Amino acid sequence: MPLSQNRYTLLRDMLYTAPMRLRADIFVSALLRRVFASGDFAAVEKKGAEEAGAIFIRQHFRSGLETLYAPAPQTAFDEGQAGDRLFEIRLSRSEPEAVRAMLERERKFDPDLWIVELEAEELGDMIPLAKGG
């Protein structure tokens, strides 16, 4: 193989590899800052693996109910979204006990997960939702 073709192949592979996923700790830190900037409250209930931990988000409402956001399955990602973090609504405006029970099941399956709690009535676009999520 000529040297110029080797360089082309190397350059092509460098440019067209799938984007890296944003580290979990950086995503959570940015989410907390956005929530605080909007005047709401957020806290990390459980810190998981810094690089690639799954992130679950509990949204508390004044009514006492909660919505649980969980990582979207890979089938929800479009071709260009491989490096993104997308979420789906796993439980919507449910009792806190139901949310706790689901998180306990998830924790047994994946002990390195993150749990972030938000006290906000409206999240807007702070949590990227998968299509149909």
CATH number of 22-119, picked from 1.20.1440.130, 1.10.10.10, 3.10.20.740, 3.40.1530.20: 3.40.1530.20
* Percent of the chain surpassing pLDDT 70: 76
Q: Across the chain, which distance is largest between two alpha carbons, in Å?
A: 69
Q: Regarding beta strands 41-46 and 66-71, do their DSSP bridges make them parallel or antiparallel, or are they unpaired?
A: unpaired
Give per-residue pLDDT as tens, 80-132. 555 578 999 999 999 999 999 999 999 999 999 999 999 999 988 899 898 76
* Tokens read off for 103: 């998180």
Tokens 């509990």 map to which residue? 58
Residue 15 pLDDT class (50, 70, 90 cuts): low
Write down the pLDDT at residue 84.
74
Would you give the end-to-end CA distance of the chain in angstroms? 48
List, in sequence order, every residue forming a beta bridge with 94; answer none if it has no partner.
Answer: 66
- The ranges assigned to domains in the chain are 22-119
Of residues 94 and 9, more confidence is placed in 94
Which pTM was predicted? 0.80
